[in-house]
Amino acid sequence: MKWMRLGFLLAVPLLASTIRIIQTNSAGDSVHIIDPATDKVVAEIAGIEVNHGAAAAPDGSRYYISNEAENTLDVVDARTCRIIGSIRLSGRPNNIAISPDGRRVYVAIIQAPGAVDVVDTATLERVKAIPMKGGVHNTYVTPDGRFVVAGSIVGKLLTVIDRATERPLWELRFEDGVRPMAFEKDAAGATNRIFVQVSNLHGFAVVDFAQRKEVARVNLPAAPEGKMPDIAATPSHGIGVSPDGNTLWVNSSLNSKVYAYSLPGLKLLGAVDVGRTPDWLTFTPDSRKVYVANAGSNSVSAIDVKSMKEVARIKVGQVPKRNVTAVLP
């Protein structure tokens, strides 16, 4: 039965423009909610087995969590943290993304033959499955809201989908599986570059969105000789552009660090030690903090961006991976 553990966790009231970090735990049945003002867990969503991706409605009313155990997209009331609905998907899901207006959730379907499922949040129904060339690991919506970008590990493809028509526009093939991505926008707000993590690459590829091609590779600082990643083929997993657009942060599971690069120049600014097997990251909207999910140590590292120091290590569930930032009015 899907239920919620309350206890002391709801003692902290939600105020105007409250910020929350939503942390999934891939080997458990709970999702933890972190308050970045205190760097403490303040709520927990229970009953979602093998939870993977998370998204928050722009109005702060709901959370959406992909459920690998039941092949569903679970809908959670953000105020009570209770599950209020489950939407059957076309196959086993991985990560998810939500449109800027909150009307669509795009779900990566990793199960062959692969698809991006489209969920209408008004009716809470799956309205479409966009076929892909291989199972989809991650989905994103570009900063301008015009495109959905899907990455396939088995297909070794990045696929760009037109949100208006919900049809694929173009694709870019890599030598290995496409994993996390981050997006840089130009002065007009359009997508400028995509920073793409690729299987077995301790670094990232740089893709020019307008030219539809890879234009550079950046390697992270070398790992100790003979060191292997805890998770096969993922020496670097988790990447993000800060909301102010000034920095790019990149996880290294080999070195148990997160690296910061300047934008647009991609100059290495420094590194911060985090927990074992950093897997994902997210920012506070003011770009002052970054939260790194440490899959190998069941924790989340809270990092002060200005000082580039870990200011808290927060205990969460089993094998935390994806995390997102939610703004609750």
Q: What is the pLDDT along the chain (329 residues), one digit of tens a residue?
A: 444 443 334 434 434 569 999 999 999 899 999 999 999 999 999 999 999 999 999 999 999 999 999 999 999 999 999 999 999 999 999 999 999 999 999 999 999 999 999 999 999 999 999 999 999 999 999 999 999 999 999 999 999 999 999 999 999 999 999 999 999 999 999 999 999 999 999 999 999 999 999 999 999 999 887 778 888 899 999 999 999 999 999 999 999 999 999 999 999 999 999 999 999 999 999 999 999 999 999 999 999 999 999 999 999 999 999 999 999 88
Q: What is the domain extent for residue 197? A: 7-328
Residue 247 has a pLDDT of: 98
Round to whole Å and give the CA distance between 327 and 319: 24
Give domain status of residue 324, yes or no. Answer: yes
Round to whole Å and give the CA distance between 29 and 221: 35
Round to whole Å and give the CA distance between 239 and 310: 17
Give domain status of residue 323, yes or no. Answer: yes
User: 187 exposed, middle or buried (CB, 10 Å; 0-12, 13-18, 19+)?
Assistant: exposed
The DSSP call for residue 57 is -
Specify the amino acid at residue 276.
R
Indicate which CATH number applies to the domain containing 112.
2.130.10.10
Round to whole Å and give the CA distance between 215 and 220: 17
**Dihedral, CA of residue 244, residue 248, residue 251 and residue 252, to nearest 10:** -160
Give domain status of residue 1, yes or no. Answer: no
Specify the amino acid at residue 53.
G
Domain count, the chain: 1
Residue 226 has a pLDDT of: 77
